[in-house]
Amino acid sequence: MTRKILVLPGDGIGPEITAQASRVLAACQARGLDVEVEEAPVGGTAYDLEGSPLPESTLAKARAADAVLLGAVGGPKWDKLEDISKRPEKGLLGLRKELGLFGNLRPALLYPQLAEASSLKPELVSGLDIMIVRELTGGIYFGQPRGIEERDGQRVGYNTYVYSEAEIERIGRVAFEMAQKRGKKLCSVDKANVLEVTMLWREVMERLAPEYPDVELSHMYVDNAAMQLVRAPKQFDVVVTGNMFGDILSDAAAMLTGSIGMLPSASLNESGQGMYEPCHGSAPDIAGQGLANPLATILSVAMMLRYSLGEPELAERIEAAVSKVLDDGLRTADIAAEGAPRVSTSEMGDAVLAAF
C-alpha cells in the first residue's frame, strides 16, 4: 500500500532544507520505498498566501498523511501580527494539537566528528546521547483558561498549566518504552516541590514504574535538571517532562552538542502517525542564501522511516550517509571550524545522496 508523506516547507530556511530532504526521500523511492509525496504551505508563508498559518487544506492533507515532514516556521515579518491566532507558531501548535502528536522525541546526540563544536569541555560531552521525551499537546501550551484581561483597573495576563492523569500516563509509557530500548534509565523532570500539577506528574510516573521493572526511574526538579545538563550531561539517558520544561531543556540539551543544525525530532500520536522536523528554527537571517545545514531535516527523514514507516534499514542508510559526509570533512557554515572550508545547503545534499 502506497503511503502518503506531506512535506511542509514553512518559512525562512524551511524551503531550502526540506528541498534537500525531499531529494533523499526520492532516493528512498528509487530504492523501493512506496510513498507518495505532496507539499503544502504552513506558517507565515501560509498566512501570506491564504490568510491562515494552518489552512484547512493543509490540515486535511496532514490528517490524511502517514507522516509529515516540516521545515520550520516563523520570522520577524510576522512577529508583529496583532491577531496572535495568525502567527506562524500557531500553525505549528495547531498541527501538533489537531494531529494529537503528544509524544515529542528530541535526541541530543554528539557526532564524534563535531565534538569540538560543543561549548563544553570534550570529556564532558564525548559520546553524549540523551533522548528527551517531551509532552507536546498539553500542559501550559494549551491549558484553559488563558488570556489578558482587566481586573481591578489593571491588566492581568494568565495561563493554565494543567495535566490529567491520562495525559501523564500516555507520555510516561512512551518514555518508559524508549528507556527499555536504550540505556534503561529514565529521569522524570518536574517541579513537584512547588507545583501541584507536577506533583500529580511525579505520582503517575511512580505508579507506572513497577510495570517497567527493567527501567530505573529517577526524579529531578527542573532547576536542578538545567544545572545537571550543564555540569554532567552524560548522567542522562532518557528524560521525560511536560511541554514547557521540555521546550527549555531540549533546547539546552541540543545546544550541548554544539551543532543544533544536526538534530532531528519526531512528534508522534497514538497511532504512530508522526510529524518530523529539525530541532533548529527558521533562521530568517540566513534564509535563501544556501547557508543552512540540511542535515537535521535529512535525519528527520530517517526518524520518519524508523518511527512511522517501519523502514529501519533505510533509516540506517541515511544515518550512515550523514556520518560518511561528516567523516569526509563536509561542513556547512554552522558546523565548520573557524576558517575551514564550507559547503552550501545543496552541496551538502549532493554529498549525502552520493554517499547513500
Ligand X SMILES: CC(C)[C@H](C(=O)O)[C@@H](O)C(=O)O
276, 319, 251: which is closest to 8 by C-alpha?
A: 276
Q: Which residues pair with 72 in a beta bridge?
A: 10
Closer to a second copy by CB, 105 or 249: give it. Answer: 249
Catalytic position from the list 47, 141, 212, 276: 141
Asked if residue 14 lies in contact with residue 71, where contact means CB atoms within 8 angstroms, the answer is yes
Which helix H or strand E contains 129, and what residues bound it?
strand 129-135
Cell of 245: 520544561
Closer to ligand X by CB, 92 or 114: give it. Answer: 92
Asked if residue 258 lies in contact with residue 118, where contact means CB atoms within 8 angstroms, the answer is yes
Q: Which of 57, 85, 164, 193 binds ligand X (CB under 6 A)?
A: 193
State yes or no: 339 annotated in a binding site.
Answer: no
What is the rounded CA–CA span in Å between residue 62 and residue 272? 14
Closer to ligand X by CB, 91 or 258: give it. Answer: 91
252 binds, among ligand X, a second copy, none (CB under 5 to 8 A by kind): a second copy
Beta-carbon count within 10 A of 334 CB? 20
Which helix H or strand E contains 238, and what residues bound it?
strand 238-241
Strands 35-39 and 67-72: unpaired
State yes or no: 10 annotated in a binding site.
Answer: no
Q: How far is the CB of 81 from a second copy (least distance, A)?
A: 11
Closer to ligand X by CB, 226 or 336: give it. Answer: 226
State yes or no: 292 annotated in a binding site.
Answer: yes
Residue 262 CA to its chain's centroid (Å): 11
Is residue 143 near a second copy by the rule CB under 8 A?
A: yes
Q: Which of 194, 230, 232, 340 binds ligand X (CB under 6 A)?
A: 194
Q: Which of 32, 157, 213, 339 binds a second copy (CB under 8 A)?
A: 157
Largest Cα span, the chain: 66
Catalytic residues: 141, 191, 223, 247, 251
> Where on the chain is the footprint of a second copy (CB under 8 A)?
74, 84, 87, 89, 93, 119-121, 124, 140-141, 143, 146-148, 151, 154-166, 191, 193-201, 222-224, 226-227, 229-232, 244-245, 247-252, 254-256, 258, 260
